[in-house]
Amino acid sequence: MSDPSRPCVVGVDAGGTSTRALAVDAEGIVLGSGRAGGANPNAHPPAQAAANIAAAIGDALRDADPAAVRACVVGMAGVSKLTDPAMAKVFDEAWAGLGLGTAVRMVADAEAAFASATDAPDGTVLVAGTGSIAARIRKRRLVSTAGGYGWLLGDEGSAFWIGREAVRSTLAALATGGPFEGLPAAVLREALHMSDLDALRAQTETDRLLTSRRLITTCNFESPIRLARFAPLVSASAAEGDATAREITDRAAELLVANALAAREDGEDTPVVIVGSVLVGDSPVGARVRETLSALDIRSATDGVLGAAWLAAVDAFGENAPRPVLEIR
């Protein structure tokens, strides 16, 4: 059994739906892991968000001495909220109860994502999930951004943006009488449970107007970011050859590439780390982004909690600190 008093660090990935923490020793061995609810202060009350982070850290340190923690890095979506002194105080009070041997360093989740994919201190991270943002990283710190203004002012190329374009294209099809195959049919099936294509084609102009109003009402009734739920339909339709879906995914990729390049200096040859549901896996947007940026060193983020843990290890043990090995002891 390991010595609970040996020096260690803690890395935390605090997202909107869940929070994960890892306790790691100087050799990169994971000593413990913890999990709790979401901790994005834009989506949860501050006290709840802070309590969830503290709970995950405490869980990760259940077999270690909190006083032996030499560094703690929390990568958090919505970290800019902590520029409000009242908000920061709520989180500071949560840390005080943990008895850590160090202060907690809060960083943007983009910094943790970048660190999860590369040892390089400088580069770019391009995030496209529900929202989108590109960030310039220098000495492993976020120094500037392109995009990332939220659903109302930006989030170009994000799942929200893609979903909104899917609904808009469906409304255009309803206004002109079709065609309804492919993406429009998928959107109407998801939003209004309309699965009978023949009945849809047979609708009169007045019927289509009523369907449009139902679709508009349904989307406006929900939270705006719920439009992101239509993004997977666009990817699937694009893969099946739907021209409108392909136009949307191509445009999304163009917008994301533009933000990524805006976050870089001319002639920069540092890595570009991509992260988020819109860019990973078999996403057509991700494929187009990689193709467009193929002259650059493109890497995919692995796991934000590993990135946060390694940043903490560098803080405590120096640049040569090994990356965490997912072997819990």
State the DSSP string of 96-152: HTTT-SSPEEEEEHHHHHHHHH-S-SSEEEEEESSSEEEEEEETTEEEEEEE---TT
> What's the CATH number where 36 sits?
3.30.420.40
Claim to verify: residue 114 and residue 183 sit in the same structural domain:
no
Flag whether 252 is in a domain: no
Among candidate residues 201, 224, 243, the one where a domain is terminated: 243
Flag whether 272 is in a domain: no
Flag whether 226 is in a domain: yes
Flag whether 295 is in a domain: no
Question: Can you state the angle between helices 304-317 and 109-117, rounded to 10 degrees?
Answer: 80
DSSP 325: B
Claim to verify: residue 18 and residue 70 sit in the same structural domain:
yes
Flag whether 255 is in a domain: no
Among candidate residues 219, 243, 267, the one where a domain is terminated: 243
Contact between residue 123 and residue 144 where contact means Cβ atoms under 8 Å apart: no
pLDDT of residue 327: 57
Flag whether 268 is in a domain: no
pTM of the model: 0.85
pLDDT of residue 329: 46
Flag whether 146 is in a domain: no
What is the tally of structural domains in the chain?
2
Q: Where are the alpha helices (DSSP H) in 177-242?
A: 183-192, 197-201, 205-221, 231-239
Claim to verify: residue 32 and residue 90 sit in the same structural domain:
yes
Domain that holds residue 197: 160-243
Flag whether 154 is in a domain: no
Interatomic CA distance for residues 32 and 138, integer angstroms = 30
203-217 burial string, b = 16+ CB within 10 Å, else e? Answer: beeeebeebbeebee
ω into 179 cis (within 30 of 0): yes
Locus of tokens 């709520």: 90
Claim to verify: residue 35 and residue 106 sit in the same structural domain:
yes
pLDDT of the chain, 329 residues: tens digit per residue = 467 778 999 999 988 778 999 999 999 999 999 999 888 777 778 889 899 999 999 999 998 899 999 999 999 877 877 888 888 898 889 888 899 999 999 998 889 999 999 999 999 999 998 888 999 999 999 999 998 888 888 889 999 999 999 999 999 999 998 788 899 999 999 999 988 888 888 888 998 999 999 999 999 998 888 899 999 999 999 999 999 999 999 999 999 999 999 999 988 999 999 998 899 888 999 999 999 999 999 999 878 899 999 999 999 999 889 988 765 44
Claim to verify: residue 49 and residue 100 sit in the same structural domain:
yes
